[in-house]
Amino acid sequence: MNDTFTRNGELTDIGSYPRWAQDLVDDCAEARHGVTQHELFQLMRTGDLQADQCRSFLVGIWPVIEQFPQYMALNLLKVGFGRAHGHEEARRYLIRNIRVEQNHADHWLHWAHAVGVGRDDLLYAQMPPETHALSHWCWHTCERDSLAAGMAATNYAIEGATGDWSSLVCSDDAYERTLDPEVRAKAMKWLKLHAKYDDTHPWEALEIICTLVGPNPNRRYFELIRSRVMTSYGYMKMALDKCLGTGSLHALPPEIPRPDTTERLRH
């Protein structure tokens, strides 16, 4: 049996990936849709999001934006030169994108400033647990889980969904027109960078994950990867619900499965 994966086909065609990866995408599609088509983004797209909801969103999601390079650094610690298939690809990907994500934090600050949210608001605001939980989850999985699982939860699930909802918001210029023309270009830079339809970062992450896991993972390891993706979507939706004013402490994502240390060492 061939235990290595080499992509044949286009990077952005799910048919180029192993059957288990296609099943992963299908299994998680509904949860992803709940994030990418969330009412908060629908209202933002049409310029109807209330000022306090927008502020809650920018403040509540800031920890993930600011810490995203650190999540990747935690995954980078798991990479060993020549250790296994996919590690060298992961090393190059993570090092390259850590620098990119640092710039994205600066763009988020410009967006926040344009709608009256200052730097101190982002750094020192007290956030409800529903929004803070997403950053804690990202740190947990990138520190505790295998390289493949940590990348699946963050670089694939969160970055991929973010590209989708950013594209939704930017598909109409209504939100852009709500911003002061003097700061509009800087304010929209974060959204427009993530809305690029040719953004390949999540697909590159999926290819690395498939290379790390191989074409025929056992069912237990498939379920581990799937649970990490689903948990990311769950925490994203919970945070968005809270920012919109519809969240509840009782609407928590499913319990996080304990990491399998054997699989972590293996991959």
d(CA 65, CA 103): 10
| Listed residue (142, 124, 150) closest to 225, CA to CA | 150
| Cα separations in angstroms, 118 against 59, 86, 112, 239 | 10, 41, 7, 21
Orientation angle between helical segments 201-213 and 19-36, nearest 10 degrees: 140
* pTM exceeds 0.85, yes or no: yes
Say if CB 8 and CB 207 are below 8 A apart. Answer: no
DSSP string, 71-119: HHHHHHTT--TTSSTTHHHHHHHHHHHHHHHHHHHHHHHHHHHHTT--H
Q: pLDDT in tens for each of the 267 residues of the chain? A: 358 898 999 999 999 999 999 999 999 999 999 999 999 999 999 999 999 999 999 999 999 999 999 999 999 999 987 667 889 999 999 999 998 887 899 999 999 999 999 999 999 988 889 999 999 999 999 999 999 999 999 999 999 999 999 999 999 999 999 999 999 999 999 999 999 854 789 999 999 999 999 999 999 999 999 999 999 999 999 999 999 996 543 344 554 554 454 444 344
- 40-256, what's its fold? Heme Oxygenase; Chain A (1.20.910)
Helix, strand, coil percentages for the chain (3-state, nearest 5):
70, 0, 30
